[in-house]
Amino acid sequence: MPKILKNLFKTSAPKRRTLPVISSASSWMRSQLSRMAFLNQGVISMSMGR
């Protein structure tokens, strides 16, 4: 996970002047994190059920 974050910051570093890019990236990160949390929850519940 930290590697992905580092790469994302590397790619967005040159475009730091453009705020919309950062906001869209942050919103994308939020959606990705929420989706991953949801998937993790499902995996945990499945493993607990067994």
Positive or negative torsion for Cα 16, 21, 25, 26? positive
Single pTM value for the model? 0.41
- Convert the pLDDT of each residue in 2-49 to its tens digit: 676 666 666 555 555 666 777 788 888 888 988 888 888 888 787 777
Query: Using CB atoms within 10 A of its CB, is residue 25 exposed (0-12), middle (13-18) or buried (19+)?
Result: middle
pLDDT of residue 14: 58
- The number of residues making up the chain comes to 50
